[in-house]
Amino acid sequence: MKFRYDVERLRTAAKVVTEALLAQRNGSGYWTGQLSTSALSTATAVMALEQSRKAGLRVPTWPAELPDPARLKADIDSGLRWLVQHQNGDGGWGDTVKSFSNISTTVLCHAVFHATGTVEQYSEHVAAADSYIQKHGGIPAILARYGKDKTFSIPILTHCALAGLVDWKDVPALPFELACVPASFYAAIQLPVVSYALPALIAIGQVRHHFRRSWNPFLNWLRDICTPRSLRILKRIQPPHGGFLEATPLTSFVTMSLAAKGLINHPVVERGVEFICASKLEDGSWPIDTNLATWVTTLSVNALTDDLPEDAAEPIRQWLLNQQYAELHPYTNAPPGGWAWTNLPGGVPDADDTPGAIIALRNLDPQQSPTTFDAQKRGLRWLLDLQNRDGGWPTFCRGWGNLPFDRSSCDLTAHVLRACVAACPDAQLLLSIELTEDSREQFESPGTDWPWQEVIGAIRRGMQFLARNQRSDGSWLPLWFGNQQAPDDINPTYGTAKVIAAYRDLDRLEALPAVDGLRWLRSSQNSDGGWGGVPGSPSTVEETALAIEALLCDRESIDEVIRGLDWLIARVDSGTWTEPSPIGFYFFKLWYFEKLYPQVWAVSALRHALQVAEQDQT
């Protein structure tokens, strides 16, 4: 069956979106993007600045390294005004201005009015927030929401305790003394927080110990002994500009905790306040993170491929090569070779940005010059060493499987498999073997400097992981993306589209998991022609574009593709295609949206559709 679509209509739409995406490059030639502003980030930033302001007022002289009290007060006041202006009609707050209210963010926002002594000034807003909190279960609802994962529930309770709304006895103690254990043992001791939350473990554990000591004298002695050492560890892993993971919430939780226990002159607090003040937006709010520059640049390059102007490719390639980590990472102890989501010092190498960079380098330098090949090889080596025993890939650290955001995930595993193909000098050699059997006797390495057999084994285990983790309906779930309109915030459209892309690149679309995944995508199309996160949820540009591109490799899906293109191109014609949706999960499962997501995925879908249409009409 041939794909017959109005080529001129496709070409016009593809030209519009491509030119728009190219225009989003910054002055240095790469993409920075723009993350959504966040009520949660704003609330935690205000609390951190208020605790720092109060602590500074309690010392004989104002700390020289802190912004002056008037600056802190001005930032606090503007943050409060922004929160008041962006409270939802039900009295709560969501993570973004497009998000539904939730108990966690509402509790954090409500607490800062108490902490800053502005309850009377904003009495109506505080009362509305209090009503929302009581209606939705209060503090017990927060504990129930996160279960055994203490990564976010204990910081929220700490935030409320600093505001005087929760008794310290009701804040569970965090074993910050475990941070003094050698990092190689972190996975084995199963910390009650995810791997990237070590700074919060230390700082929040300490402030709780400061205000509510244990009944156990030995434990008090141990924690007193471990306090100086854990503070040294915290200082060592803090980026020079102060922002842990470039994330305002994490940095704020650390800063407010240490400031509240009186460490106002500690370098971690000083740098934390500096980062928070520098991160404030002009409207008085704070974003969830500084930027996703490396991530959105690789997404853009991989969407544009040969439509990227020739004179733009080399500067981006050089910039991307410079973002590869060349030393052991002080935060996660990750070895050299990976990429983070940002070019800023708070980033951490991970298993989504690293494969994205590997694929982008292939698109930027198809001939694979020695420097490109070497970077890809080091990146692939980093990924091979990260693979878990279950065959899948986690985000940051191998072996951390105790909590959800440290486990292997389908979307990351699929992305790594695609990078394995992109990085190999001759992908066809890799794809010519039978991946379900032992590859050692079937394939001889064409070079002594490339781990062919190891790559083949990793791909085989990764595909087995994907097959085992396919849902009964044929879909896959991602880790770092969701949909607020879906049950449990899931987004099988995103997850399935990403996994199908891996089966496509591996030339395994005839495999039963891929067939079932494609069938699910077809059946999940909405009546309007678009896709949401789940069948029946409102169609979005992001999810529709992802579904279209995944289905373009399947001749049985032509009718669905055509209807999807009609929906997407109508959005391009009306100018609404750039409107982002909150489908991203950030740390602690916080919603965000990114300005470039709909643009990147629309470019990729329309360009691929145009290529298929032109091929079928020649």
The answer, yes or no, to whether residue 616 has pLDDT greater than 90, is: no
In a domain, 574, yes or no: no
- Spatial neighbors of 141 by CB under 8 A, at least 6 apart, are 103
pLDDT for residue 489: 92
In a domain, 312, yes or no: no
Q: Do residues 176 and 230 lie in contact, with contact meaning Cβ atoms separated by under 8 Å?
A: yes
Q: Do residues 548 and 567 lie in contact, with contact meaning Cβ atoms separated by under 8 Å?
A: no
Q: Do residues 129 and 109 lie in contact, with contact meaning Cβ atoms separated by under 8 Å?
A: yes
- Counted domains in the chain: 1
The answer, yes or no, to whether residue 443 has pLDDT greater than 50, is: no
**Could you say which DSSP state residue 535 is in?**
T
Residue 246 neighbours by CB distance under 10 Å: 27
Retrieve residue 56's tokens.
């500074």
pLDDT for residue 434: 56
In a domain, 369, yes or no: no
Within 238-352, where are the H helices?
248-260, 267-279, 293-304, 310-322
The answer, yes or no, to whether residue 191 has pLDDT greater than 80, is: no
Q: Which domain holds residue 220?
A: 37-287
The separation between the first and the last C-alpha atoms of the chain, rounded to the nearest angstrom, is: 14
pLDDT, tens digit (0-9, with 9 covering 90-100), for 289-330: 999 999 999 999 999 999 999 999 999 999 999 999 999 888
In a domain, 149, yes or no: yes
* pTM of the predicted model as reported, rounded to 2 decimal places: 0.93
pLDDT for residue 445: 43
Is pLDDT larger for residue 571 or for residue 616? 571
In a domain, 616, yes or no: no
**Could you say which DSSP state residue 327 is in?**
S
Residue 286, SS3 per DSSP: strand
pLDDT for residue 334: 85
| Burial degree of 17 (CB within 10 A; 0-12, 13-18, 19+) | buried
Q: Do residues 476 and 496 lie in contact, with contact meaning Cβ atoms separated by under 8 Å?
A: yes
pLDDT for residue 133: 97
CATH assignment at residue 81: 1.50.10.20
The answer, yes or no, to whether residue 404 has pLDDT greater than 80, is: no
Q: Which phi and psi angles does 206 have, rounded to 5°?
A: -70, -45
In 3D space, the residue among 424, 425, 435 whose CA is nearest the CA of residue 467 turns out to be 435
**Could you say which DSSP state residue 586 is in?**
E
pLDDT for residue 618: 67
| 19 sits in which H/E element | helix 7-22
| 382 sits in which H/E element | helix 370-386
In a domain, 43, yes or no: yes
- Spatial neighbors of 510 by CB under 8 A, at least 6 apart, are none
pLDDT, tens digit (0-9, with 9 covering 90-100), for 102-152: 999 999 999 999 999 999 999 999 999 999 999 999 988 888 877 766 778
In 3D space, the residue among 187, 186, 255, 558 whose CA is nearest the CA of residue 400 turns out to be 187
Cα 352 to Cα 413: distance, rounded to the nearest angstrom: 9
In a domain, 253, yes or no: yes
Retrieve residue 326's tokens.
């060349």
Cα 489 to Cα 316: distance, rounded to the nearest angstrom: 35
pLDDT, tens digit (0-9, with 9 covering 90-100), for 491-545: 999 999 999 999 999 989 999 999 999 999 999 999 999 999 999 999 999 999 9
In a domain, 88, yes or no: yes
